[in-house]
């Protein structure tokens, strides 16, 4: 039975949620795809693309690209550069445990930055800053089976 | 008593001439691959955008450039003002009439499609070089 790929998503979210500095900068949490209503300073993670590298008899490497960004509403006191820098400090060459996998690497592939202006009220702005991060992980069962041969 | 030996290699001039032509031939074939994948990526991206977002599809452009005698390149770009927001998502937004559009999750269309085609392009270019008798090592990623 192949490893559960969702464990990679969960591990990334748990790693970010566990950081007290990041939580101080973005107190409204770390969310997948869509933030909860009312959140004004938070981290948003979404899956861009995932591809598998096979080997004889199993899956060797899962290569997952995530969009990870700090999102801050301009009506609150938020330090967007510091939040994005903290995200990068955590994720560039980051190490975190993944159930059923061994993390191989976590690096930024591309920087992302944008400002969203509300159509009806241009004074309302949302700042987005972060990057696309590539996470590569190998399923532990596959690695063990390979080592036993 | 001294002895002398000599070798005569037939076809060396032809080989030299082939090597001289190699960059130009590879460039021409490489250009076909690069432009083919760029246009393929643009077509895939246009097809993957939601049907209601026709402006996004219509704004996908391919521009080509020849960076040198030995190179070829293409840029795929979306010129729509809201392309970034579609790709990376938005938070709560309102129309000019005040209607709440709500949150738009990141669309993730442009980047993944482009990556797929870029990966295919690398593979085809690698194969082209191998076919020409060159050794290719490493991985350009994707």
- pLDDT tens, position by position, B30-87: 889 999 999 999 999 999 999 888 999 999 999 988 767 677 889 999 999 899 999 9
In a domain, B4, yes or no: no
Token reading at B121: 């392009």
Domain of residue B90: give its range: 25-129
Q: Tell me whether residue B99 is in a domain.
A: yes
DSSP helix/strand/coil, B74: strand
When mean pLDDT is compared over A46-55, A74-83, A90-99, B98-107, the highest value belongs to: A90-99
Residue A149 predicted with pLDDT over 90: no
What stretch of H or E contains A137? strand A125-139
Instruction: Please tell me if residue A32 touches chain B, with a CB cutoff of 8 Å.
Output: no
Question: Is the residue at B122 inside a domain?
Answer: yes
Measured between alpha carbons, how far is B91 from B98 in angstroms, rounded to an integer?
15
| % of chain A with per-residue pLDDT over 90 | 77
Split into its structural domains, chain B has a count of 1
- Residue A148 contacts B where some CB pair is shorter than 8 Å: no
- CATH number for A69: 3.30.2000.30
In a domain, A78, yes or no: yes
Q: What's the structural domain count of chain A?
A: 1
In a domain? residue B123: yes
Residue of A126, A129, A131, A136 to mutate when probing chain B, most B C-beta within 10 A? A126
Structural domain of A97: 6-148
Residue A114 sits at the vertex; the CA angle it makes with A109 and A115, to the nearest 5 degrees, is 165
Cβ B108–A46 below 8 Å, yes or no?
Answer: yes
- pLDDT greater at residue A21 or residue A56: A21
**pLDDT score of B7:** 65
- List pLDDT tens digits, range A73-89: 998 888 999 999 999 99
- pLDDT, residue A129, reads 97
Euclidean distance between CA atoms B128 and A76, whole angstroms? 55
Confidence (pLDDT) at A70: 97
Determine, for residues A49 and B90 on separate chains, whether the beta-carbon distance falls below 8 Å. no
Residue found under tokens 């969009």: A67
Task: Judge whether A45 lies within some domain.
Answer: yes
* Per-residue pLDDT at A21 exceeds 70: yes
Q: Per the domain annotation, does A1 fall within a domain?
A: no
Residue B13 lies in a domain: no
Q: Any residues with CB less than 8 A from the CB of B3 and at least 6 apart, and which?
A: none
Residue at B3 is within a domain: no
Q: Determine the Cα–Cα distance for residues A134 and B5; give it in Å rounded to an integer.
A: 60
The pTM of the full predicted model, rounded to 2 decimals, is 0.83
What pLDDT, on the 0 to 100 scale, is given for residue B119? 92
Per-residue pLDDT reduced to its tens digit, B4-22: 776 666 776 776 777 677 7
Residue A20 lies in a domain: yes
Interface test with B, best of A29, A53, A84, A120 (most B CBs within 10 A): A120
Q: What does the pLDDT average to over B107-124?
A: 94
Residue B45 Cα, gap to closest chain A Cα (Å): 14
More confident residue, B23 or A8: A8
The partner residue sitting opposite B96, judged by closest CB among A34, A71, A120, is A120
Checking ipTM against 0.90, whether it exceeds it is no
Q: Quick check: is B77 in a domain?
A: yes
Q: Examine residue A44 and state whether it is found in any structural domain, yes or no.
A: yes
Are the C-beta atoms of residues A79 and A129 closer than 8 Å to each other? no
Q: Which residues on A lie below 8 Å from B103 (Cβ)?
A: 34-35
């Amino acid at each position: 039975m192949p490893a559960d790929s969702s464990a990679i998503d969960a591990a990334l979210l748990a790693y970010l949620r566990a950081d007290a500095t990041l939580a101080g900068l973005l107190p409204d949490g770390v969310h997948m795809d869509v933030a909860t209503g009312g959140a004004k300073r938070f981290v948003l993670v979404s899956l861009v693309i995932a591809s598998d590298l096979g080997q004889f008899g199993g899956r060797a490497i899962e290569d997952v690209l995530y969009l990870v960004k700090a999102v801050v509403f301009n009506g609150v006191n938020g330090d967007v550069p510091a939040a994005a820098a903290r995200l990068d400090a955590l994720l560039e060459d980051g190490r975190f445990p993944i159930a059923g996998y061994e993390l191989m690497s976590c690096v930024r592939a591309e920087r992302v930055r944008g400002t969203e202006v509300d159509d009806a009220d241009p004074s309302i702005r949302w700042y987005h800053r972060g990057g696309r991060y590539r996470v590569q992980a190998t399923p532990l069962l596959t690695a063990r089976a390979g080592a036993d041969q | 008593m001294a002895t002398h030996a000599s070798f005569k290699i037939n076809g060396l001039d032809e080989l030299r001439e082939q090597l001289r032509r190699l960059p130009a031939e590879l460039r021409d074939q490489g250009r076909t691959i690069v432009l083919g994948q760029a246009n393929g990526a643009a077509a895939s991206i246009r097809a993957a955008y939601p049907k209601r977002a026709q402006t996004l599809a219509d704004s996908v452009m391919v521009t080509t450039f020849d960076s040198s005698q030995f190179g070829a390149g293409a840029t795929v770009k979306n010129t729509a003002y809201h392309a970034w927001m579609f790709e990376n998502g938005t938070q709560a937004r309102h129309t000019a009439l005040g209607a709440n559009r709500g949150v738009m999750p990141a669309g993730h269309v442009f980047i993944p499609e482009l990556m797929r085609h870029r990966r295919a392009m690398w593979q085809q270019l690698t194969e082209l070089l191998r076919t020409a008798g060159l050794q290719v090592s490493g991985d350009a990623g994707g």
